[in-house]
Structure 1
Amino acid sequence: MENVLAFVIIFGSLVFFHELGHFLLAKRAGIMVREFAIGFGPKIIGITKGETIYTIRLLPLGGYVRMAGEDFDTVEIQPGHRVGLVIGKTGKVEKIYLNRNVSNPDVLFLETEEADLEKELFIEGYDDEGQHVRYDVSRKTVVVEKGQETLIAPYDRQFESKPLGSRAMTIFAGPFFNFILAFFIFLAIGLLQGVPTNEPIISSVDSGTPAQVAGMKKGDYIKEVNGKPVTTWTEFSEVIQDSPGIPLQFKVDRNGESVSMVIKPATIKQDGREFGQIGVRYSSPVEKGPLKAVVYGAEQTIFWFKKIFELLGMLVTGKFTIDALSGPVGIYKATEEVAQYGIYNLMNWAAILSINLGIMNLLPLPALDGGRLLFFLFEGVRGKPIDKQKEGMVHFVGIMLLMVLMLVVTWNDIQRFFF
């Protein structure tokens, strides 16, 4: 149960901050946000505040911010349609009933001749006495259909009405907030646990490993690998991991004495990749301080940003196969394992996942934020937007392909962990 709770909190937090980025930038640009949702599928909880409904939905596999004008959610009243109007004290329409059967005595019925609920904000037609009337429509008019109320969205409150830069920033803000979240998680780790000095000092050597056979000992300070200076444990471990089966020349400082040795890293296969390993462990002392924590947060965010991009490059070049990818099941199992090593390891894992989510969403693929940004780029080059129906079709195909990929990855996870 604790593992499930940890997964829900971590994944929910990543999705929340991603959607919060879209939400805040949309609000800043003056875009009406109809819904802020965590999860997909049937609604579990919904709270309306202002013009936005905040919902938690059944399937915790993502979330969305539904902005006015994005999904053809504008209300259109066709000529000849009989509607009921509630006129406010200012003389403007405040509520429009699309149902014919309305038992409200304050409702005036109108056979519509023309209506514009986006730009000019008016409705005109013939009342029950046959007189031609015209009413201005309030910017906060509510349309009621089958008991469901929808606030109209004047064109200047719709996503498409905003300048290209504002729309692009609204979409980019989601992934960007994931990077910000990762930075603050690493910052919190630095403040609470302290910042590792990251010095390349061996804390222990496992028996029977290449390092032990070559004569490496506890307390050795790594100075050079293959003639290149080493200043951090990160540099040292990366060289080892990138050199499976390749003999390396080490120079270490042992109690003030320079010692040389040659070690051939063992080859470890994991998730379709090969890594080098020599059998040493690291336990770095830590330093505390706000400034050190800030630097640590920035360094770790940049480091993992680069590392995930490297893995993506390996996927493109074929060095990293689709079988090694993980979906929700794989992420859950990894979270379960990490949780056993304490809260700081779990926080570190959450930060890495947040960076990964941000990068994945920036990939220029249909249905992802990166795909939408690509269409904005085309719009900027062409000087006019792509036809909405064509763009919508591309995104629809992209969603279908992503669903197929998700099913394949999830099936691989199930086979890997349960069979």
Structure 2
Amino acid sequence: MNTLLAFIAIFSVLVFVHEWGHLYFAKRAGILCYEFAIGMGPKLFAFERNDTIYTVRLLPIGGYVRMAGEEPEQTTIRPGYEIGLVFDNQQKVTEIIINNKSKHPEAHVVQVEKIDLIHELFIETIDDETGETVRYEVHEKAMLVQDEVAQINAPWHRQFGSKSLPKRAMAIFAGPLMNFILAFIILIGLFWGFGYNTNQISPVEGSVAAESGLMEGDTIVAVNGEQADEWQHLVNLISERPNEEITVTYERDGEQQSVTMTTDTDYVEEIDTERGVIGIAPMRANDFLGAVSNAGSEFVMMATSIFDTLALIFTGEFSLDYISGPVGIYNFTDAAVAAGLYNVLWFAALLSVNLGVINLFPIPALDGGRLMFLGYEAIRGKPVSPEKEGAIQFVGFALVMLLMIIVTWNDISKLFS
């Protein structure tokens, strides 16, 4: 049960932050957002505020912000249609009843002669008695009611396409950006609250480091002349030199000294490789500036590791086992929960970074694909036609869903292997 709750909590927070980024910058640009959804599938909970419906849906596997103008409007009223009109005190149309007009006796039923709900916001009809044209002004927040479901009308100035290219790009990029910010904040909190390893060392008795004269409290600053800024960097510099002579520069009592030693060799069975070791353990600290520095390094490592995995495609070493869907992530969550709070938060930061990076891939249906279309528009000087973009996005979405199914099936297969 703890794993399930942690899984739902982590996914919900990551999706919420991602979609909130889209929502915040879209609204800031003046774009009407019909819905802000956490989860997919049937609605569990919904409320409306500032022209946006906020919903929580059954399946905790994603979310979305539905912006006006991003997809073709589902409701189209053409000349010849009979509709019902509801007016405010200034005789502006506030509700347009498209069907089931008998359920709205308060509505004035007319036949449409001309209509513009995007730019000029008017409806024209012909008076049955006089034969004269009657023009009604439509309120910019008029509601369209179809099948007893009301949706606010979206004038052009509130649609996605009406905004400048930078504002549209920011509304899309903001989702991954918020995931990056969240991950960085989590990492700062971890390193500040739990502490972090430093290059100030404690040599293991009888080790190469101890026999070379290194003492507890020494701070290693370089290996073979290459600066070692943080513990993990120091470990990497030593690990990549098994059974080699190295020069270690360290600081003691404010003075820098150097010593030469030959590394020992440690075999790592999990990755079938040897690494260099000298027998040192890190001393820990938890100051804020150090936490920020370590969080930055950890963030970069997380963000770039996914590209290391993808690079295996070109070497022929890539396997589906290197990526995970919801089932695999659930299993990792279970392991993190068993290991404690630190590991749960670290895993949440890793997922947040990966969610941001993957969403920026130039694949239709992802944020990166949408940014790709905007980039094409910037170069070409005009946008791709909505029909072509919609078709490409549909194909991209189908391919992403297919990949998710394959990865999920692979995850399930591993459970029974």
* Both proteins in one fold, TM over 0.5: yes
Separation in 1 of the partners of 2:347 and 2:244? 31
Deviation at residue 180 of structure 1 after TM alignment: 0.7
Deviates more, 1:224-233 or 1:100-109: 224-233
Deviation at residue 305 of structure 1 after TM alignment: 2.4
In the TM superposition, 1:205-216 aligns within 5 A as: none
Deviations 1:329-379 (A, max 9, x none): 111111211222221222122112111111111111111111111111111
Q: Does structure 2 retain, via aligned residues, the 8 Å contact 1:172–1:369?
A: yes
In the TM superposition, 1:5-404 aligns within 5 A as: 5-73=5-73, 75-127=75-127, 129=129, 131=131, 132-194=133-195, 196-199=196-199, 201=201, 230=228, 232-239=230-237, 247-250=243-246, 258=259, 260-269=261-270, 276-277=274-275, 282=281, 284-289=283-288, 291-404=289-402
| SS at 1:37 equivalent | strand
| SS at 1:137 equivalent | strand
Deviation at residue 136 of structure 1 after TM alignment: 0.6
Deviations 1:218-244 (A, max 9, x none): 96976766675645321233346667x
| SS at 2:64 equivalent | strand
Q: Does structure 2 retain, via aligned residues, the 8 Å contact 1:84–1:100?
A: no
Separation in 1 of the partners of 2:220 and 2:406? 44
| SS at 1:357 equivalent | helix
Instruction: Flag structure 1 segments of 5+ consecutive residues without an equivalent.
Output: 206-210
Distance change (3 Å), C-alpha of 1:202 and 1:357: farther
Separation in 1 of the partners of 2:3 and 2:281? 27
Distance change (3 Å), C-alpha of 1:134 and 1:284: same
Deviates more, 1:170-179 or 1:104-113: 104-113
Separation in 2 of the partners of 1:59 and 1:97? 33
Separation in 2 of the partners of 1:286 and 1:181? 23
Deviations 1:70-116 (A, max 9, x none): 12126321111111111111111111111153243431110111111
Separation in 1 of the partners of 2:45 and 2:357? 30
Deviation at residue 197 of structure 1 after TM alignment: 4.4
Instruction: Flag structure 2 segments of 5+ consecutive residues without an equivalent.
Output: none
Amino acid at match of 1:347: L
Separation in 2 of the partners of 1:315 and 1:198? 35
Q: Does structure 2 retain, via aligned residues, the 8 Å contact 1:241–1:275?
A: no
TM-score (norm 1): 0.86
Amino acid at match of 1:284: M
Separation in 2 of the partners of 1:229 and 1:160? 50
Deviation at residue 408 of structure 1 after TM alignment: 1.5
Distance change (3 Å), C-alpha of 1:277 and 1:338: farther
Deviation at residue 307 of structure 1 after TM alignment: 3.4
Equivalent pairs: percent with the same residue?
Answer: 41
Distance change (3 Å), C-alpha of 1:167 and 1:414: same
Separation in 1 of the partners of 2:186 and 2:5? 18
Separation in 2 of the partners of 1:236 and 1:292? 16
| SS at 2:363 equivalent | coil
Amino acid at match of 2:353: I
Amino acid at match of 1:373: L
Separation in 2 of the partners of 1:58 and 1:260? 60
Aligned length: 407
Distance change (3 Å), C-alpha of 1:182 and 1:231: closer
Q: Does structure 2 retain, via aligned residues, the 8 Å contact 1:315–1:322?
A: no
Amino acid at match of 1:311: T
Amino acid at match of 1:338: A
Deviates more, 1:162-171 or 1:308-317: 308-317
Separation in 1 of the partners of 2:89 and 2:227? 79
Distance change (3 Å), C-alpha of 1:218 and 1:398: farther
